[in-house]
A and B are shown apart, each in its own frame.
Chain A
Amino acid sequence: MGRGLKTIIGAVVLVAAVIGLEMGLEHILPDAAWRQVALFAMVNVVVALSLNVINGMAGQFSIGHAGFVGIGAYTAAIVASHLHQSLGGGEVTFAHSFIVMPAAIASAAVAAALFGVIVGLPSLRLRGDYLAIVTLGFAEIFRLVIATAQTGGTAQGAVGRFLASLGGQNGYAGTDGTGVPQYAGPFWIFGAVALGTIICWRLKFSGWGRALRALREDEIASAAVGVDPTSYKVTSFVIAAAGAGVAGALLASMRDGNPTVQPDQFSFMYSFDAITMVILGGSGSVSGAIVGGVFVTITVKLIEQLQGLESIQDLRTEYPSLDLNALRMVIYAGVLIGLMILRPEGLFGERELFKRGRRNAPGGGPGGPGGPGGERNAPPGGAEAALAEAAPTGVAVAAPSTGVAVAAPAGSE
């Protein structure tokens, strides 16, 4: 009862908040450039949240996440611009976004998930580094196929014509070349972040997430307790791919964003940004992915802003060889190295901002095994402990038997 009420109140507050942001973001951030940064940061949070499922929770190192974002972006751009045309084109309205965005997001998620199955099914049977190589290769293949397919022409088949229609290196700018309709306002982007956070949180704090984390710790042991490594890894990979697809859909139609979807947006660098977000925040932590996503986006933007400063511009005219864009990577590297030394587990480690307490916490007054019926039910190992005469807490009962535990290396066969 109380639980249901809390859920309803939470949902109402969330919807009110995203509608408020849809209406009010222009007043909060009057500068369009910063609005773009804010929205882009949120898209990156979705990217980080989804990558966190496979890299953080499942411990499978995927370094081609940008490929799935790209698939989502192209799919959503095509769906959105076609829908926009069939709605009569014209102004991009908030009302129309309720027709366009759900379709675009859903199709992007499905397309990315499909590719997730295709990539994940064979590669996740392998261990460790193989997945990294396969995902990296996949993302690059995707990007290069689109970037190089620009000739078009009648001699080509349906696939070739379709790929050519995506605009090659110049990018896809809608059906009529005037740009992808930018339906994804703060409502959709912040909404996706909220929903994504809830989904990731619930995934993590469920039996499924527990099994996934167990798998990350020890594959053989988790198989020995009935958790099938392959199916869990593939499922988590597909979920991560679908999440990336959603992020791509938001990126393609982001208000104040780039109205063309270009292959270079989904280069290796973007995959690495995504990994940085996850590791910086703390592998496996949902809060960490959010903080990491925001931090990385803002850092990049701040460096760009710094480049515009007068003193920096003067410096630049004085030393023309100074490449300030490369400074971004230097700062990145510095932050990452510092983090690996100071906090190898990331800002949050696997922890969360809010501690989730266990409902049936121990110490709630269970008696010792010396009580009535204890003789039959307590194992003999605890029988010695029972001599401690019905100690008040489990800790005290356990003490005698742990006291004699002497650690010694196991004999190897």
Chain B
Amino acid sequence: MSEDAGSNAVDRAYKAGKASEDPAPRAGKPLLELRGVTKLFGGLRAVSDVSFTVPEHRIFGLIGPNGAGKTTVFNLITGVYKSDEGTIHFGGTDLGPQKPSAIARLGVARTFQNIRLFGQLTVLENVLVACENTRKAHLGSALLRSALFYRDEEDMEKRALELLRIFDLHGMADETCTSLSYGNQRRLEIARAMMLSPRALLLDEPAAGMNYGEAEGLKKQIRWLRDHFEITVVLVEHNMQVVMGVCEEIHVLDHGETIAHGSPGEIRTHPKVLAAYLGEEVPDEPDGESVGAASGKSEGEVPA
């Protein structure tokens, strides 16, 4: 089996049923809509009246200083928390009454700020868990070991191995995931999320702990994922090199409230953002950032 054939199999699996092969970012229909979302932790308004819309195929950044409520917004979208006010819609479905597992099945995949892998499972098994709900063979056929069970298992293993290959983890498929390096664990989390065949991928600080070179690689990977799998990416990130370099639209939170929304160029110069977040960092930034900043400007689309 050649690399080529294998990759085409993945292509087919993911492209099936998808309308366009145009890799360029388009202004898609709204996929994820938050309206007036509020979350209280006791007396603390962790998220306060936040509204934004993420169109399809957009790389959307959610930024803000520590404690701004970015991860809380992720947890609200994925159903880990329930919002106290406001609504969250995904592809027209109200996520309010849905369980986290049901939201995942609707096509919202995520990674975690502090990596959450299944420690005692192998790398391959970690990825395979993510397709458990899509399998045709259920408990009964697993017990009877029907032909369907074996076919199912083989199909999924093949798909999982292709994903691992994409993320350069193919050679470690049978290792326990705790033995992986930090960077590999981060990539495994993304691979696992992609196994869900999601419509939206929520990345929570994927560049945390990465050096300059790795962050550059991550930027390319995010763009490639969006184009190749035609997904929407929502990114929570502190690393400005990554945020400004890859996001096409940015929403800024501070103390749970929205303070700005716009293209990277607009956010870069927004007075409130500068005051609340970037502060004195702006003058220090450009040297190492020139590549990222340039590509950010050339690729970033100015939203309405």
Give the B-binding residues of A (Cβ under 8 A). 3, 7, 199, 202-203, 206-211, 213-214, 216-218, 220-229, 235, 350, 358-369, 371-374, 377-385, 393-398, 401-402, 404-413
Contacts and interface: CB of A to CB of B under 8 A. Distances in A.
A369 B3 contact: yes
30 contacts: A3-B145, A208-B138, A213-B125, A214-B121, A214-B129, A217-B117, A217-B119, A218-B118, A218-B119, A220-B100, A223-B80, A223-B99, A225-B104, A360-B161, A361-B174, A362-B170, A368-B3, A371-B2, A372-B4, A380-B224, A395-B172, A398-B170, A398-B184, A404-B183, A405-B184, A405-B214, A407-B181, A407-B182, A413-B66, A413-B71
A221 B118 contact: yes
B20 interface: no
Contacts of B166: 377-379, 382
A223 B196 CA distance: 12
B195 to A, nearest CB: 7
Given A210-B129, A394-B165, A379 B225 contact: yes
B1 A228 contact: no
Given A225-B195, A380-B224, A402-B168, 18 more contacts: A3-B145, A199-B143, A207-B131, A213-B121, A218-B117, A224-B116, A225-B129, A228-B102, A362-B161, A362-B170, A366-B170, A373-B7, A374-B7, A379-B220, A381-B217, A405-B214, A408-B209, A411-B205
Nearest to A398: B168
Contacts of A350: 120
B40 to A, nearest CB: 18
Contacts, number: 254
B170 A406 contact: no
A208 B124 CA distance: 15
B297 interface: no
A402 B181 contact: yes
Nearest to B144: A202
A210 B118 CA distance: 10
B301 interface: no
Contact of A397 (B1, B8, B131, B168): B168
B277 interface: no
Nearest to B108: A224
A223 B113 CA distance: 16
Interface in B143-197: 143, 145, 149-150, 152-154, 156-158, 161, 165-174, 181-184, 187, 192-193, 195-196
Given A207-B156, A220-B80, A221-B117, A381 B168 contact: yes
B17 to A, nearest CB: 19
Main secondary structure of the interface of B (DSSP, over half): helix
A322 to B, nearest CB: 44
Contacts of B165: 366, 369, 394
A207 B128 contact: yes
A262 B153 CA distance: 46
Contacts of B112: 220-221, 224
Contacts of B304: none
Nearest to A384: B217
A404 B213 contact: yes
Interface in B249-282: none
Interface of B: 1-4, 6-8, 10-11, 66-68, 70-71, 78-80, 99-102, 104-105, 109-110, 112-121, 124-126, 128-135, 137-139, 142-143, 145, 149-150, 152-154, 156-158, 161, 165-174, 181-184, 187, 192-193, 195-196, 205, 208-211, 213-214, 217-218, 220-221, 223-225, 228, 238
B70 A405 contact: no
A1 B12 CA distance: 29
A14 to B, nearest CB: 15
A212 to B, nearest CB: 10
Contacts of B100: 220, 223-224
B109 A225 contact: yes
Given A210-B125, A211-B129, A406-B211, A223 B104 contact: yes
Nearest to A231: B101
A260 to B, nearest CB: 35
A406 B207 CA distance: 11
B221 A379 contact: yes
Interface centre among B105, B135, B166, B183 (most CB of A within 10 A): B183
Contact of B6 (A228, A366, A372, A379): A366
Given A218-B118, A222-B118, A207 B135 contact: yes
A226 B205 contact: no
A381 B142 contact: no
A366 B137 CA distance: 28
Contacts of B184: 398, 402, 405
Closest 8 CB pairs of A and B: A405-B183, A380-B220, A395-B171, A206-B142, A408-B209, A394-B170, A394-B171, A407-B182
Nearest to B209: A408
A397 B3 CA distance: 13
Given A383-B220, A398-B168, A413 B132 contact: no
Contacts of B6: 366
Contacts of A359: 154, 157
Interface centre among A224, A358, A366, A371 (most CB of B within 10 A): A224
B82 to A, nearest CB: 14
A373 B214 contact: no
A373 B4 contact: yes
Nearest to B2: A367
Contacts of A381: 167-168, 187, 217-218, 220-221, 224
Given A379-B166, A381-B220, A410 B161 contact: no
Contacts of A373: 3-4, 7-8
A395 B184 CA distance: 13
Contacts of A235: 139
B174 to A, nearest CB: 7
Contacts of A207: 128-129, 131-132, 135, 137, 142, 152-153, 156
B213 to A, nearest CB: 6
B167 A379 contact: yes
Given A207-B128, A223-B99, A225-B195, A409 B3 contact: no
Given A217-B119, A379-B224, A225 B193 contact: yes
Given A379-B225, A413-B66, A407 B11 contact: no
Contacts of B154: 359-360
B104 A364 contact: no
